[in-house]
Amino acid sequence: MTEQERQEIKAKLIELGFWGDTEQGDPVADHRDSQTLQERLGRLLANDVTLASTGFSIDSPAQGVEVVKGRSVYPLATADSYPETICLAALALPEFLRQHPECAAK
């Protein structure tokens, strides 16, 4: 991912209200900041829904994030690093929740 792409993603996170415009850190590049972002995303989900990240494997170096509700698993985003994946998941989550309102927090 290029620096310009990272800046565009961060700007979109700010626009969506997931990251403050004066908030320190960079969830697109920093692991701890992306964990903070994941915690914020988790608060948008119903109690019986989780946001799970899948690790790197021999078959695929990509990291994924999925929404899990019971036995249903909905892939949300995939990228080459945890921070990038969480940020892409944040961008996809609002649309996902529109399509699956049963997964949203009340």
Residues 14-23 have pLDDT tens digits of 999 999 999 9
Please tell me the predicted confidence (pLDDT) of residue 54: 83
| pTM, entire model | 0.89
Place of tokens 């979109």: 12
Report the distance separating Cα 44 and Cα 22, nearest Å.
22
pLDDT computed for residue 81 by the predictor:
87
User: For position 57, what pLDDT does the model report?
Assistant: 56
Domains, in order of start, for the chain: 3-55+62-103 (3.30.2120)
> What is the reported pLDDT for 98?
97
The parts of the chain modelled with pLDDT lower than 50 are none
Query: In what helix (H) or strand (E) does residue 95 lie, and over which residues does it extend?
Result: helix 82-99
Tokens of 10: 């961060």
The whole-number pLDDT of residue 80 equals: 87
Digit-coded pLDDT (tens) for 51-71? 988 876 556 667 899 999 999
Q: What Rg do the C-alpha atoms of the chain give, in angstroms? A: 13
